[in-house]
C-alpha cells in the first residue's frame, strides 16, 4: 500500500503546483491596479491613466460642460424684427388731403386700410398704386419708406404704417417635457432660453431630471437644466427657427469591483462628488479593496486630457479619449481629493482587489485542492496499518 500513499502525496503536490502556476486565472471582478498601470505604458494603449492629485482635482472641478454661449454666441440677434415669408402684414395709408388718391370708398377721408396679407413665397405683398413690394428680410420701417416713395407721385404727402399682425416666420419651436409644446413667435426685444421655456408653460417634471437641447441649423448642443438656471451666461438669446427640446435625462454612475455593493446608481444632486458616490454603495470592502486602486473610467475631450498628458490623442470620432483617473486612498490627502472630484453622468467607478485578497483566494484554492488528497493519504495509511 505504500506506493499508493506515495502516488497520492505526489498527486497533491502536483495539483498545488498547478494551482500556483495558474494563479493569474483566479476569479476576479476586474483587472488589478498593477495591470491597469502597466497597460497605460503600452505603445498602443487605448486609454490614458491620470493619477489624481489635488491640483488635478481642482483643475477638473473648474471645467464645465461646453457653454452654450461659446457654441452659439451670447449676442441678441435683431432678425426677429424683420418681416419673413408667411408673416401676416397690414398696411395703413394716410394722405394730407381729404380728396386724395385713397379717399374714394374709405370710411375715413384721406386714408385707406389695406387688408391683411400673407407675405408670399417670393417675399412680397401688393399695395394699390404702389404695386408689388419686396418686404421679406426688411423691417416694417424700411417697408414703410419704400411704399411712401412708390406713392409719392400719385398720393398727396402719403404717410404709411406697416404692421406685422402675426409673426409666423420668426418663431422658435419648443417641444419635449414642457407643459405646452408649440411654435412661439419672437418679439423685437428678443427672448432668452428660459423666456421661451416659461412661455411654453415650463417643465413638467423636476429640474434635476431634465436637460435642455437647442438645435440651430445643423448644430445641436445640450446642457443640464439646473446648469442653465444657475449660470446666467448659459441663458442665451434664441433665434428664428431654433428648436428647443426638454429631454428627460436621469443621471447615473456604476460601481464595480471591491466595493460593498456593485450597482448602477441614479443621482439627483446637481454636483455629486466621489466621496458621496462611494458612500451610496457602502464604501470600499475592507477585506478585498486595494485603497490605492480607486479608478474612475470616463471619456474626456482630448484638449482637456492634454493638460495632464501632453501626448494624448483622440481615439473616438467626436474628439474624445478614454481616461482612467486613479485615486490613492493610502495617502491621507486622498480623502480631500474624493471631496473635490466630481462624478459625471455615466461614470464607471472600479475598485481593484488588493494583493492580499488575491493571496487569500489562492490559499483557499490550495486548501480545497490539497485537503482531499491529505484525507486520502490518511485513509490509505490507516488501511496499511490494518493490514500489518
Tell me the pLDDT tens digit for each residue of 116-158: 999 999 999 999 999 999 999 899 999 999 999 999 888 888 9
* Long-range contacts (CB closer than 8 Å, 24 or more residues apart) made by 177-185: 177/203, 177/204, 177/205, 177/210, 177/246, 177/247, 177/248, 178/202, 178/203, 178/204, 178/246, 179/203, 179/204
pLDDT above 70: percentage of residues in the chain: 79
**Helices and strands (DSSP H and E) totals, the chain:** 11, 18
- Confidence tier at 76 by pLDDT (50, 70, 90): low
**What is the location of CATH 3.30.1950.10 in the chain?**
83-166
Angstrom distance (rounded) from CA 266 to CA 251: 6
DSSP string across 221-235: EEEEHHHHHH-GGG-
For the cut 90, the answer to whether the pLDDT of residue 335 exceeds it is yes
**What is the location of CATH 3.10.560.10 in the chain?**
33-51+251-357, 68-77+170-248
- Confidence tier at 26 by pLDDT (50, 70, 90): low
Q: Is 331 helix (H, G, I), strand (E, B) or coil?
A: coil
Mean pLDDT of all residues in 25-45: 78
Mean pLDDT of all residues in 19-33: 61
Class of the CATH-defined domain 68-77+170-248: alpha beta
Residues in the chain, overall count: 388
If you average pLDDT over each of 30-39, 123-132, 224-233, 361-370, which comes out highest? 123-132
Angstrom distance (rounded) from CA 92 to CA 258: 78
Residue 167: its pLDDT value, please?
86
- Confidence tier at 22 by pLDDT (50, 70, 90): very low
DSSP 8-state symbol, 203: B
Residue 3: its pLDDT value, please?
54
CATH number attached to the domain at 33-51+251-357: 3.10.560.10
Tell me the pLDDT tens digit for each residue of 295-325: 999 999 999 999 999 988 888 888 899 999 9
For the cut 60, the answer to whether the pLDDT of residue 5 exceeds it is no
Minimum mean pLDDT among 16-20, 28-32, 58-62: which range?
16-20
- Confidence tier at 159 by pLDDT (50, 70, 90): very high
For the cut 60, the answer to whether the pLDDT of residue 100 exceeds it is yes
Higher pLDDT, 286 or 369: 286
Summary mean pLDDT of the chain: 83
Angstrom distance (rounded) from CA 336 to CA 343: 15
Q: Is 191 helix (H, G, I), strand (E, B) or coil?
A: coil
Class of the CATH-defined domain 83-166: alpha beta
Would you say 66 and 214 are in contact if contact means Cβ atoms under 8 Å apart? Answer: no
In terms of Cα–Cα distance, which of 198, 239, 246, 315 is closest to 71?
239
Tell me the pLDDT tens digit for each residue of 214-223: 999 899 988 8
Q: Is 50 helix (H, G, I), strand (E, B) or coil?
A: strand
DSSP string across 230-280: H-GGG-PBP-TT-EEEEEE--EEEEEEESBS--EEEEE--SSEEHHHHHHH
DSSP string across 110-130: TEEEEEEEEPPTTSEEEETTT
In terms of Cα–Cα distance, which of 60, 70, 52, 67 is closest to 344?
60
Tell me the pLDDT tens digit for each residue of 237-264: 998 899 999 999 888 999 999 999 999 9
For the cut 50, the answer to whether the pLDDT of residue 271 exceeds it is yes
Q: Is 347 left (phi over 0), alpha (psi -120 to 50) or beta?
A: beta
Higher pLDDT, 44 or 177: 177
Distance in angstroms between the alpha carbons of the first and the last residue of the chain: 11
β-pair type (289-301, 320-327):
antiparallel
Residue 360: its pLDDT value, please?
52
Mean pLDDT of all residues in 374-385: 54
Residue 18: its pLDDT value, please?
46
Higher pLDDT, 5 or 221: 221
- pTM, full prediction: 0.61
Residue 172: its pLDDT value, please?
94
Amino acid at each position: 500500500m505504500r506506493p499508493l500513499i506515495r502516488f497520492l502525496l505526489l498527486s497533491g503536490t502536483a495539483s498545488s503546483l498547478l494551482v500556483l502556476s495558474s494563479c493569474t486565472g483566479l476569479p476576479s471582478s476586474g483587472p488589478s491596479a498593477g495591470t491597469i498601470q502597466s497597460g497605460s505604458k503600452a505603445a498602443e494603449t487605448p486609454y490614458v491613466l491620470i493619477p489624481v492629485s489635488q491640483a488635478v482635482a481642482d483643475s477638473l472641478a473648474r471645467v464645465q460642460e461646453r457653454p452654450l454661449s461659446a457654441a452659439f454666441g451670447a449676442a441678441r440677434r435683431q432678425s426677429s424684427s424683420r418681416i419673413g415669408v408667411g408673416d401676416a402684414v397690414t398696411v395703413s395709408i394716410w394722405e394730407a388731403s381729404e380728396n386724395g388718391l385713397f379717399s374714394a370708398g374709405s370710411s375715413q377721408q384721406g386714408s385707406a386700410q389695406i387688408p391683411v396679407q400673407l407675405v408670399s413665397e417670393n417675399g412680397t405683398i401688393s399695395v394699390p398704386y404702389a404695386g408689388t413690394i419686396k418686404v421679406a428680410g426688411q423691417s416694417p420701417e424700411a417697408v414703410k419708406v419704400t411704399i411712401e416713395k412708390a406713392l409719392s407721385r400719385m398720393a398727396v404727402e402719403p404717410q404709411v404704417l406697416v404692421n406685422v399682425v402675426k409673426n409666423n416666420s420668426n418663431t422658435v419651436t419648443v417641444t419635449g417635457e414642457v407643459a405646452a409644446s408649440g411654435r412661439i413667435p419672437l418679439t423685437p426685444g428678443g427672448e432668452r432660453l428660459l423666456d421661451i421655456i416659461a412661455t411654453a408653460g415650463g417643465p413638467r417634471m423636476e429640474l434635476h431630471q431634465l436637460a435642455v437641447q437647442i438645435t440651430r441649423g445643423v448644430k445641436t448642443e445640450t446642457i443640464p437644466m439646473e446648469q442653465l438656471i444657475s449660470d446666467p451666461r448659459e441663458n442665451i438669446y434664441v433665434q428664428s427657427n431654433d428648436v428647443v427640446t426638454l429631454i428627460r435625462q436621469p443621471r447615473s454612475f456604476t460601481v464595480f469591483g471591491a466595493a460593498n455593493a456593485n450597482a448602477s446608481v441614479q443621482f439627483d444632486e446637481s454636483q455629486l462628488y466621489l466621496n458621496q458616490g462611494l458612500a451610496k454603495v457602502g464604501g470600499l470592502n475592507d477585506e478585498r479593496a486595494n485603497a490605492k486602486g480607486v479608478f474612475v473610467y470616463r471619456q474626456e475631450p482630448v484638449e482637456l486630457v492634454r493638460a495632464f498628458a501632453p501626448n494624448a490623442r483622440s481615439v473616438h470620432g467626436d474628439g474624445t479619449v478614454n481616461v482612467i483617473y486613479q485615486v490613492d486612498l493610502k495617502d491621507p490627502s486622498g480623502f480631500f481629493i474624493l471631496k473635490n472630484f466630481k462624478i459625471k453622468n455615466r461614470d464607471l467607478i472600479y475598485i481593484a482587489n488588493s494583493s492580499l485578497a488575491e493571496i487569500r483566494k489562492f490559499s483557499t484554492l490550495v486548501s480545497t485542492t490539497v485537503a482531499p488528497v491529505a484525507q486520502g493519504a490518511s485513509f490509505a495509511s490507516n488501511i496499511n496499518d490494518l493490514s500489518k
